[in-house]
Amino acid sequence: MTDMNQAHLIGRLTADANITTTKDGKAVAKFTLAVSRGKTKEGSELTDFIGCVAFDKIAEKIGEWTKKGHRIAVTTRQQTGNYTNKDGQKVYTHDNVVLSWQTLEKKQDNGNGSKPAPNSNDVMAGFQDIEENEQDEVPFE
């Protein structure tokens, strides 16, 4: 049996991705996705805010093609780690590392006219399109 460590998320960026580089020049993108969990019985929206991190080419493309409010789909793997901070205390981390992504915006304008936005892989192959009026329905409770 093979263990599976992947999550597929669709959400909106709460802010522009924070793009930095490592000491060896590789891009790192950190961002938070607001992911809808459905509605309560009273009709209030339930939203989870999930922190994600992307590396290398995926990080570069996310920085280039997205901005606050954009709706994207990501496939992530969960990763834990630890390090000792400057005060000598052990700090534990939990990261959602982006393996692939796709923008769900119809078109992007990069200053040279509109064109379809790229994706890192065919991450949407397992997703089903939902009509606009069906998005408010919760399939389970």
pLDDT for residue 131: 47
SS3 9: strand
Q: Which pLDDT does position 117 carry in this prediction?
A: 55
Q: Where are the domains of the chain?
A: 7-125
pTM flag (> 0.85):
no
CA–CA gap between residue 119 and residue 79 (Å, rounded): 23
Segments of the chain with pLDDT less than 70: 1-3, 107-141
Rg (CA), the chain: 17
CATH number of 7-125: 2.40.50.140
